[in-house]
Amino acid sequence: MDDAARLIAAEHARRRAVEADDADTLDAMTADVFHYAHINGLVEDRATYLDRIRARAVITHATGASDLSVEMRPGYALLKGVSFMEFEWRDGSAKGRVDTLFLSVWEPAGDDWKIVAYASTPKPA
């Protein structure tokens, strides 16, 4: 499997971990300097992101990514695509579906890749 295929597989594995609230897997997949910029503008560092996953504040009913493409760069890779998430806040304050375009940055870590940053924006109508 080449690097692009490994990155795409890692993105799908990351989404499965989000659906399962699997903070341990997400912890292993994220770089120390990880930042996540949510579609609502909230930006979390690694510790805050993992704390929120562990608190299970949001139920992710489904998430997926398509039209994935990888651009290899010296020392890092860009992965972009189209994604969706069906979610519900455990406190009942919000639920719905978001359709987005996303861009993520990954860095090599031995034979694996770790995600450094993720950001999404609403998918145009």
Domains of the chain: 3-122 (3.10.450.50)
pLDDT above 80: residue 92? yes
3-state secondary structure the chain: CCHHHHHHHHHHHHHHHHHCCCHHHHHHHEEEEEEEECCCCCEEEHHHHHHHHHHCCEEEEEEEEEEEEEEEECCEEEEEEEEEEEEEECCCCCEEEEEEEEEEEEEEECCEEEEEEEEEEECCC
**pLDDT value at residue 93:** 87
pLDDT above 90: residue 101? yes
Quick: pLDDT tens for 75-91: 999 999 999 999 999 88
**pLDDT value at residue 34:** 98
pTM for the structure as a whole: 0.91
Quick: pLDDT tens for 10-66: 999 999 999 999 999 999 999 999 999 998 889 999 999 999 999 998 999 999 999
pLDDT above 80: residue 71? yes
**pLDDT value at residue 125:** 81
